[in-house]
Amino acid sequence: MPKKADQRDLFSGALELMILHSLRLKPMHGYALAKHIKQVSDDLLKVEEGSLYPALQRLLKEGLLESEPGISVKGRPTRIYHLTANGQRQLEREVSSFDRMLAGITRVLAAAEA
């Protein structure tokens, strides 16, 4: 089924960037993290479980996140994820890279209008 014009896949690394940034604010479990991204983006971004949990596992494996057992608001066992010092440094690199990419895209779009 074709996607609507306003429903696009995130660019490579965008989900990881948003996860790292969100967890910089406070530790969260997966569902809270997906809900946070959706709310902060004014419902423009929806993170599916099939994308979120594999990304969290990659970030754990890379040492950018750590997790510990916790209890959700509803009293269910869950994993609470938090940013490591390596994750903070990676976040800074990713934000810098994103800023450069966005500047380049902005220049290309501005040149197309001229």
| Cα 12–chain centre separation | 11
**The CATH classification of domain 14-113, taken from the options 3.20.20.70, 2.60.120.460, 1.10.540.10, 1.10.10.10:** 1.10.10.10
List the chain pLDDT tens, one digit each, 114 residues. 444 545 455 666 899 999 999 999 999 999 999 999 999 999 999 999 899 999 999 999 999 999 999 988 888 899 999 999 999 999 999 999 999 999 999 999 899 665
Q: Where are the domains of the chain?
A: 14-113
pTM above 0.75, yes or no: yes
According to the 3-state scheme, what is the secondary structure of 39-58? HHCCCCCCCCHHHHHHHHHH
- Helix (H), strand (E) at residue 84: none
Q: Could you list the beta-strand ranges (E) of 1-114.
A: 28-29, 65-71, 77-83
Per DSSP, what are the bridge partners of residue 82? 66
Integer distance in angstroms from the first to the last C-alpha of the chain? 36
